[in-house]
Structure 1
Amino acid sequence: MGDHQDSTEDLAPTATTGYKAPEKKTVEELANLDAQDESLKKWKESLGLKAAVGPSDDPRKVVVLALGMESPGRPDVTVDLSTPAAIAQLKDQKMTIKEGVEYRLKVTFKVQHDVVSGLKYLHVVKRKGIKVDKMEEMLGSYGPATEPYEKKFLAEEAPSGMLARGHYEVKSRFIDDDGTAHLEWAWSFDIKKEWD
């Protein structure tokens, strides 16, 4: 039970002092605000505020499709997150990162049915049960759209040296300003001398 409490706290987004999430409005309410202003109407349409998009049999507002990793001179590594079955298979997948390389994470996701405000990606990395890294990346606010969004994170450098090599466990979460966790899952990677 203590481990679950620790992981929940680890994956809690940082709170900005004085920030209050905006009042929740539906796509229809947003689309009808200042309806007589033609330029504002066009801007709202560019955000996908024409209509609520999404299948009626899938109530999710955010559908995370994939998490990827780019590293210069290497093919991209993409992890499928689109279905519960794909996420369940992650425990059997082995991801390797070469020590000292520059890499960048990217996420592909869809927003459907309604606007999502302040979407963030968080992850906590542990090695042998000890937290070694926490990442929090603001993705932004999005309206529903038929095409997926892709967001690339800032480039990072993998640790290097004998002490850095080994196996790492990661817990990741997508959460918004309302505190809704849209997806949470566990995965792992190894840092090695060379790519596999």
Structure 2
Amino acid sequence: MADHHDDDLAASKTAGFKVGEKKTVEEYQKLDANDESLNRWKASLGLGTGTSISDPNDPRKCIIKSLALEADGRPDITIDLSAPGSVDTLKNKPFTIKEGSKFRIKATFIVQHEVLSGLKYIQVVKRKGVRVSKDEEMLGSYPPSTTDKPLYEKKFNPEEAPSGMLVRGHYNALSRFVDDDDTTHLKFEWSFDITKNW
């Protein structure tokens, strides 16, 4: 992808926010072991439950498995992003979205090796080369996937497709999954058509 795409997909920054010091899962588990409220917080993150399913041969910290488009009264349209070459063909296989329809995106992913802090999804939509929207969705922080919780699923905020003759047509989108460390876990181009009917 060209360099100007990186500017489009830059995550917003919160003034004064600093990413905390990196710790291993074991360090988090031992951290202030006698602090009851901290132990409840660690339990809410899933630290200390199940057996880690991290693959020592795969260095990735976050593996995006699939994206799905959920629309009212329609079967989900799911893209298996773990299949070899699946991301490379998305731009040439547009989704169809009916104007005025309500929908949301759902992501499934695996976290491995360490705690994933501040995962975000950033999306820029262009029509005929002109940017028409930029959205950023905070997905949260997650401990490594375990046998108890092997796959995380996150549903994004609901959206409504625009309506009218002027908005119908073909759109190109750029998407990026990034964390607080500004590590990109997946970046890809895709496309969709807004039409009068499904």
Fold conserved between structures, TM > 0.5: yes
The structure 1 residue matched to 2:29, chosen from 4, 28, 31, is 31
Q: Distance in 1 between matches of 2:183 and 2:128?
A: 29
Does the 8 Å CA contact 1:52/1:114 hold for their aligned counterparts? no
The structure 1 residue matched to 2:9, chosen from 2, 8, 11, is 11
| Aligned-residue offset at 1:34 | 1.9
Q: More displaced, 27-36 or 146-155?
A: 27-36
Could you say if the C-alpha distance between residues 158 and 11 of structure 1 is closer, same or farther in structure 2, counting changes exceeding 3 Å?
same
What does the per-residue CA deviation read over 1:59-107, in whole Å, with 9 as the maximum and x for residues that have no partner?
Answer: 1110001111111110011111114422123234231000111111111
Return the TM-score normalized by structure 2.
Answer: 0.90
| Aligned-residue offset at 1:49 | 2.5
Greater than 6 Å deviation, 4+ residue runs: none
| Aligned-residue offset at 1:45 | 4.6
Q: Distance in 1 between matches of 2:74 and 2:151?
A: 24
Paired position in structure 2 for 1:169: 172
Paired position in structure 2 for 1:117: 117
Q: Distance in 1 between matches of 2:83 and 2:39?
A: 35
Question: Pairwise CA RMSD of aligned residues?
Answer: 1.8
What does the per-residue CA deviation read over 1:17-50, in whole Å, with 9 as the maximum and x for residues that have no partner?
Answer: 1111122111121111123457754653552323
Could you say if the C-alpha distance between residues 72 and 34 of structure 1 is closer, same or farther in structure 2, counting changes exceeding 3 Å?
same
Q: Distance in 1 between matches of 2:141 and 2:172?
A: 29
Does the 8 Å CA contact 2:92/2:191 hold for their aligned counterparts? no
Paired position in structure 1 for 2:95: 95
- For structure 1, the 5+ residue unaligned runs are none
> How much identity, in percent, do the aligned residues show?
58
Paired position in structure 1 for 2:197: 194
Q: Distance in 1 between matches of 2:101 and 2:88?
A: 28
Letter in 1 for 2:186: L
Letter in 2 for 1:135: D
Paired position in structure 1 for 2:68: 68
Q: Distance in 2 between matches of 1:35 and 1:156?
A: 42
1:126 matches 2:129:
no
Paired position in structure 2 for 1:181: 184
| Aligned-residue offset at 1:53 | 3.6
Q: Distance in 1 between matches of 2:131 and 2:92?
A: 22
Aligned residues: 193
Letter in 2 for 1:58: D
